[in-house]
Amino acid sequence: MALVIKGSSSGQVTVDVPAAAGTNTITIPASTGTMLDTNSVIASSKLPAGSIVQIIHASTTTQTGTTAASFTATNVTADITPIATANKIIVMVSSSMYISAGGQQASGTIYRDSTNLGDANRGIVQFWDGGDVCQGDMSIMLTDHPNTTSAVTYALYIRKLSASGSACYAGVDATPQFITLLEVQG
């Protein structure tokens, strides 16, 4: 048996019960609104805390090198405009670090716009080359609370910690580098 609801001026909605044993109940809310269908989108404000509401991903194979003692921007960067000020951003970065001489140190960090999210001097990850040269993976993951609904830019920065003239590089030999931003409902 099917239930047919006719529109006030035209059209109709047919509710049909599948051939199944047992009793099924659908409760219609006692409030005005629209029921979801296969074309509906749930507003991000209705999602529970911890839900991923936005994903931004960017990649590059461009190498960045520096001999500077201050943090230098790389090409590993992505922009995001948070949906709500209460939301947090999970930042995930994957790159590589190469130091061109032995006995040297280098560091990597994440900036949100002009704010270093790591230690002002040491950043978030550090590399030390105790031998001839050093090359390794540089992966950083952190959670940030930008407290804004304006666009923000997250970027990987690198710097030399040692005073000599050797250089450090992110993304050496055109290795793929990635940045992924996940906005999490607050």
Q: Report pLDDT digits (tens) over 129-163.
A: 777 777 889 999 999 999 999 999 999 999 998 87
135 backbone dihedrals φ, ψ, rounded to 5° = -140, 135
Q: What is the pLDDT of residue 144?
A: 98
Domains of the chain: 47-184 (2.60.120.1340)
If 0-12 CB within 10 Å is exposed, 13-18 middle and 19+ buried, where does residue 161 land?
A: middle
Q: Report pLDDT digits (tens) over 18-62.
A: 777 777 777 777 777 776 777 777 877 788 899 999 999 999 999
Tokens of 74: 């790389």
**What pTM value is reported for the model?**
0.80
Of 92, 104, 96, which Cα lies nearest the Cα of 63?
96
More confident residue, 122 or 164: 122
